[in-house]
């Protein structure tokens, strides 16, 4: 069975920055494979494009430019905000505003998103709203573990059930 829309695809992969010899970002080696429904928009489009037509046992090695992955780094997404907006009962919780911390935030319309603490001053904080991998070229190596038809419930829910997927 080949990888095409509405197939459940399981892959083991290693992700590095830029090239196969780049800094390791993550790997499924020694763990569960990544399982996803091909073509439902859950994966980076170029990741899926590179797997199209493959079948169980096939190996892959390909790069994805930052602009086609998590985007280029956007300096305008680095926002300075008043430090006191993080106060709870007049005090900033210990350890909250440390550089590198990811903060769950909500805007005035109730939309949820995350930002990373990039800089902390006396009365201001810079929050980086870029994806942590923005500006990074990606390189994937690995192999296709399995390809199968997605079950109707998986297609309805938009994610894989069972091993390597979501458990209800």
The model's pLDDT over 31-67, given as tens digits with 9 standing for 90+, comes to: 999 999 999 999 999 999 999 999 999 999 999 999 9
User: How does pLDDT run across 114-128, given as a tens digit for each residue?
Assistant: 999 999 999 999 999
Domains and CATH numbers, the chain: 7-70+133-157 (3.10.50.40), 75-128 (2.40.10.330)
- Gap between the Cα atoms of 132 and 149, Å rounded: 33
What pLDDT does residue 106 have? Answer: 87
Mean pLDDT of 145-153: 96
Tell me what the mean pLDDT of segment 76-103 comes to: 94
**What pTM was computed for the model?**
0.84
48, containing H or E segment: helix 45-51
SS3 of 77, please? helix
Task: Number of helices (H) and strands (E) in the chain: give both, helices first.
Answer: 2, 9
């Amino acid at each position: 069975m080949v990888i095409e829309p509405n197939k459940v695809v399981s892959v083991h992969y290693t992700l590095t920055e830029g090239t196969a010899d780049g800094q390791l970002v993550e790997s499924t080696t020694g763990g569960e494979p990544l399982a996803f429904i091909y073509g439902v928009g859950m994966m980076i489009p170029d990741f899926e494009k590179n797997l199209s037509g493959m079948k169980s046992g096939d190996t892959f090695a390909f790069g994805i430019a930052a602009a086609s992955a998590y985007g280029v780094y956007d300096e305008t997404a680095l926002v300075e905000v008043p430090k006191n907006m993080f106060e709870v009962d007049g005090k900033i919780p210990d350890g909250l505003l440390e550089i590198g911390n990811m903060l769950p935030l909500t805007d005035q319309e109730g939309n949820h998103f995350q930002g990373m603490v990039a800089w902390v001053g006396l009365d201001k904080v810079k929050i980086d709203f870029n994806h942590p991998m923005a500006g990074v070229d990606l390189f994937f190596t690995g192999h296709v573990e399995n390809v199968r038809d997605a079950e109707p419930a998986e297609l309805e829910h938009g994610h894989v059930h069972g091993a390597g997927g979501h458990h209800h």
